[in-house]
Structure 1
């Protein structure tokens, strides 16, 4: 069954704005996990972060422009259609209901977000719905905080093949080949200061930001 079951990925974030680091990681995740598709899902109101600088609709438009015709990547607006905080467990439940019980559903998160996982809304429920793939960073490692260790330690697997033997419930750290050290904070700082963001953003995203006057310092 594991050879024929759908493999569906979810990569959430504020994408404020989407940049080449996000997109290259998405492509490498899609390829490494042999996904059928990867849903990139901007958060309406991230529960553990401040409110994004531009509207959800604008961030979705930038994400759509950034993805363009990239195979396998989908700009998914489901969290923007829900009121209130964007809980990953609710999003995974929606995806699970769409793809069925047999599909391999994977939520990918960065290492920084992973360290706060025990603080998330219904963290145990995440594993009832999906696998967790943590995009590891070179030099980052154990020991994990005790509550996080209790949550994930017994779920850890050491290969993608092992992870994909079941529809959900596993945890895999994964180092991507070209983890790009670009942060949305740095991109916003450059834009606010009127500095170049060339080679940090896809050209269509840079053009859309320029045309919309987004992330400019208020006078």
Structure 2
């Protein structure tokens, strides 16, 4: 049963760093598809600058040329806060207990995992693939919160096969692009150029709808 990747985030806006992470993880793990799931109301961070409908459409346009990538609107359509554990629970109910699922996380998100709602439950629902920049010592004990260190000590040696349904943790070094949505928003607010930081179709959409302009 081919593994499926789950990639959530505000995508405010989606950029080449997001797309490259998904591409490299898909190749490394052998993912049959990657579900991009824009957050509706993320409870662990501020309200996204841009309306959910715009963020969803930007993701749709950004991934349109990749047959491995799909957009999933379930979190935006959910009236309640966007908890990852709820999304994975719903996917597991739809796909069955044997379907290998891989939650794709950046290094910062992984280190903040103990602050997430029912975060230990995530390991029962999916494998976790962590993207780190080249040379990062992400999984060294002195860099991890104590709760995460304890959890990882039990799971890092779990079967790291791509066909394992859940419970494995995998660290992959990613191409260090150094692009952030915050920097893109700030650049656009100053009327600067964000070209080559995100796909042209996304940039065109931003200009068309005059997004990320301060009053």
Class of the TM-score when normalised by the shorter of the 2 chains = over 0.9
Separation in structure 2 between the aligned mates of residue 68 and residue 29 of structure 1, nearest angstrom: 18
Separation in structure 1 between the aligned mates of residue 8 and residue 126 of structure 2, nearest angstrom: 14
User: Residue 186 of structure 2 corresponds to which residue in structure 1?
Assistant: 189
User: Residue 19 of structure 1 corresponds to which residue in structure 2?
Assistant: 15
Cα shift at 1:166: 2.2
CA contact (8 A) 1:118 1:151 kept: no
Separation in structure 1 between the aligned mates of residue 97 and residue 126 of structure 2, nearest angstrom: 10
Q: 2:67 aligns with which of 46, 71, 74?
A: 71
TM-score (norm 2): 0.94
Deviations 1:92-144 (A, max 9, x none): 11111122121111101111011111111111211111111111223343221
Q: Which aligned runs of 4 or more in structure 1 are off by greater than 6 angstroms? A: none
User: Residue 124 of structure 1 corresponds to which residue in structure 2?
Assistant: 120
Structure 1 residues 135-150: aligned runs within 5 Å: 135-137=131-133, 138-141=135-138, 142=140, 143=142, 144-150=144-150
Structure 1 residues 146-165: aligned runs within 5 Å: 146-157=146-157, 162-165=160-163
Separation in structure 1 between the aligned mates of residue 73 and residue 191 of structure 2, nearest angstrom: 30
CA contact (8 A) 2:187 2:194 kept: yes
Q: Verify: 1:216 aligned to 2:213, yes or no.
A: yes
CA pair 165-35 structure 1, distance change in 2 beyond 3 A:
closer
Pick which of 59-68 and 143-152 moved more. Answer: 143-152
TM-score (norm 1): 0.92
Separation in structure 2 between the aligned mates of residue 25 and residue 181 of structure 1, nearest angstrom: 12
CA contact (8 A) 1:62 1:208 kept: yes
CA contact (8 A) 1:163 1:172 kept: no
Pick which of 94-103 and 7-16 moved more. Answer: 94-103
Deviations 1:191-215 (A, max 9, x none): 0000001100101001000000000
Aligned pairs, number: 211
User: Residue 33 of structure 1 corresponds to which residue in structure 2?
Assistant: 29
Unmatched 5+ residue regions in structure 1? Answer: none
Separation in structure 1 between the aligned mates of residue 191 and residue 123 of structure 2, nearest angstrom: 43
Separation in structure 2 between the aligned mates of residue 128 and residue 165 of structure 1, nearest angstrom: 15
User: Residue 95 of structure 1 corresponds to which residue in structure 2?
Assistant: 91
Unmatched 5+ residue regions in structure 2? Answer: none
Separation in structure 2 between the aligned mates of residue 174 and residue 64 of structure 1, nearest angstrom: 26
Separation in structure 2 between the aligned mates of residue 11 and residue 91 of structure 1, nearest angstrom: 11
CA contact (8 A) 1:130 1:168 kept: yes
SS of match in other structure, 1:113: helix
Separation in structure 2 between the aligned mates of residue 65 and residue 165 of structure 1, nearest angstrom: 30
SS of match in other structure, 1:163: coil
